[in-house]
A and B are shown apart, each in its own frame.
Chain A
Amino acid sequence: MKNSTFFRCVLYFMVFLFFFAGCAQTIPKEALQLSKENLENRQLQTRRFDTNEETLLSASAAVLQDLGFNITESETELGVIVCSKQREAKSAGQLVGAIFLAALTGVVTPIDKEQLIRASLVTNPIHIDETEKSKCQTAVRITFQRIVINTDGDVTRRECINEAKIYQEFFDKLAQSLFLEAHEI
């Protein structure tokens, strides 16, 4: 009887080891597949402005600074600006839940503490007019993503941000910035 429990234990452990050796993750099938959702996001994230690429890029950099982003990388030849900022990520709901649980069970649960917000802004000339700036047309697309870290230092969220309202607000600010730059304010 004792022997059989021993065998069973060893067997379970072996199965566990096999899982350990064979659990290398593979990329999900839809990761690089263009979907309808991708194209909807494109519309959400893109706007067209009647100006040349250079002006749009500098106005964009100014808006990103307005929003507290630090520019980490830029390549004007390709119309790329990469920026990021680190902010706190506490939410009242989660905090209340954690306190409630701690009072009830005595166990302290980790809550979201800070987040890294990243964005890349890309411009693309649609129509170039050498003589007049206002006759040019340039498209701009921005994408945001964030990584949230909790009080234990673990990553709790890695996601792209697809809230229509955020993009709407960003482009409103960009339009304003272009207006200000045109009038050199």
Chain B
Amino acid sequence: MKRKQVLMVALLIALIMLVSCAPSTKQVLATKESQVKLRAIQTRAFDTTEKEKMLRTVIATLQDLGFVVDKGDATLGTVSGTKLDRYALRMTVSVRPRGETQLLVRANAQYNITAVEEPEPYQQFFDALSKAIFLTAHQVD
């Protein structure tokens, strides 16, 4: 009976360690997914070279989805926005040329205090974006 008790306490201590042992500075460069997989999830190519039109469409799509724009930069090609709906969803979208005929659109999002690394939300965003710009979003490998 006593051994069982000791075992229980040991297990308890192990669990506490599991919950609390990672230093929080680890978060600075932390991602759950691999770099390659994350890029595939967050990036789409569009058959257009009109960067400004794409950026304006990205802004319109973000507004449609209930975001308030935080920042926009035509030279760098980035737009950031925040959606507040009890939760806080922050998103940055960048647009840059890919070869001579395409634009690469990349999005990354943060839900409250966690990174969004599931594919579905990004798929939904790119669906809305391609509807707005009347172009198909191509998967990039």
Chain A residues at the B interface, C-beta cutoff of 8 Å: 3, 6-7, 10, 13-14, 17-18, 20-21, 24-29, 31-34, 38-39, 41-42, 45, 73, 75, 77-80, 82, 118-120, 122, 124, 141, 143-147, 158-160
Assuming A3-B5, A17-B19, is B72 touching A31 (CB within 8 A)?
Answer: no
For window 60-114 of chain B, which residues contact chain A by CB distance below 8 Å?
Answer: 60, 63-74, 79, 81-89, 109, 111-112, 114
- Interchain CA distance A45-B120 in the complex, whole Å: 28
Give 13 pairs: A residue, B residue, CB < 8 Å, sorted on A.
A10-B12, A14-B11, A34-B64, A34-B127, A73-B70, A73-B72, A78-B52, A80-B69, A82-B71, A118-B82, A120-B63, A141-B60, A143-B67
- Interchain CA distance A142-B80 in the complex, whole Å: 16
Assuming A75-B74, A82-B71, is B65 touching A28 (CB within 8 A)?
Answer: no
A-B pairs with lowest CB-CB distance, top 4: A120-B69, A77-B74, A158-B84, A27-B111
Q: Do B72 and A119 touch across chains, with their CB atoms under 8 A apart?
A: no
Assuming A33-B124, A77-B52, is B68 touching A25 (CB within 8 A)?
Answer: no
B124 surroundings in chain A (CB, below 8 A): 32-34
Could you tell me the distance in whole angstroms from the C-beta of B1 to the nearest C-beta in chain A? 7
Q: Do B70 and A6 touch across chains, with their CB atoms under 8 A apart?
A: no
- Interchain CA distance A120-B11 in the complex, whole Å: 52
Q: Do A145 and B86 touch across chains, with their CB atoms under 8 A apart?
A: no
A77 surroundings in chain B (CB, below 8 A): 52, 74
For window 1-52 of chain B, which residues contact chain A by CB distance below 8 Å?
Answer: 1, 5, 8-9, 11-12, 15-16, 18-19, 52
- Interface range, B side: 35 or more
- Interchain CA distance A143-B74 in the complex, whole Å: 21
Secondary structure class of chain A's binding surface, majority of residues: mixed
B85 surroundings in chain A (CB, below 8 A): 31, 158-160
Assuming A25-B114, A27-B89, A158-B84, is B121 touching A13 (CB within 8 A)?
Answer: no
Could you tell me the distance in whole angstroms from the C-beta of A10 to the nearest C-beta in chain B? 5
- Interchain CA distance A45-B121 in the complex, whole Å: 24
Q: Do A143 and B68 touch across chains, with their CB atoms under 8 A apart?
A: yes
Q: Do A29 and B120 touch across chains, with their CB atoms under 8 A apart?
A: yes
